[in-house]
Amino acid sequence: KARVSLALQPVATALFANSPLKEGKLNGFQSYRRHVWDDVDPDRCGYLPMVFEEGFGFERYVDYALDVPMYFVYRHGKYIDVSGKSFRDFMEGKLEAIPGEVATMQDWEDHLTTIFPEIRLKRFLEMRGADGGPWNMICALPALWVGLLYDRQALDEAEELMSSWTTADMLHMQENVATEA
């Protein structure tokens, strides 16, 4: 499901692209939202090609998240800047800003909220690529994903559709969907 979800993010983004305006003027994009996310910190955002590697699962995602640079640790009502250090560094006691502090599950949960890949693994798959659509059609996007991922035939056919795509193909779609939809 993660592979199909990631492979089809550009397709869903194209289908639901509806943000060609910024401040009432054409902005040159079909999905301005997608464009904005393309320019955000690549360490924590974007496409995760490792999803297509053999053996990908939660353990590999955790390894990825452990190495994403942190922003902060929250202690005693204050945010402590630990920019540039990874959660793995924190677990190994290598945060100079807070010597002696031990990482907690709450720290891990806080860190995970600062990671924004195209699909985010939680207790479920969070799809992050597409515009939401107008209010009267807000359920269309989740309905698309439920139909694709929870109907065995649809999932099998989606896997067949993407089976010949290379990572380069998918990255090309991802890079161009904001303008070309």
Q: Report pLDDT for 24.
A: 95
**Mean pLDDT throughout 60-73?**
97
Please report, for the chain, the start and end positions of each structural domain, with discontinuous segments joined by +.
2-47+125-180
- pTM value is 0.87
Whether the predicted pLDDT of 134 surpasses 90: no
d(CA 104, CA 108): 6
Pairing of strands 45-46, 25-26: unpaired
Distance of CA 46 to the CA centre of its chain: 6
Kindly report, residue by residue over 45-60, the tens digit of the pLDDT.
998 989 999 999 999 9
* Block residue for tokens 């502090």: 101
What does the pLDDT read at residue 161?
Answer: 94
What is the b/e burial string over 23-58, where b = at least 16 CB atoms within 10 angstroms of the residue's CB?
A: eeeeeebbbbbbbebbeeeeebbbbbeebbeeebee
Q: pLDDT for 71-104, tens place per residue?
A: 999 999 999 999 999 999 999 999 999 999 999 9
Q: For strand 72-75 and strand 78-81, is the pairing parallel, antiparallel, or unpaired?
A: antiparallel
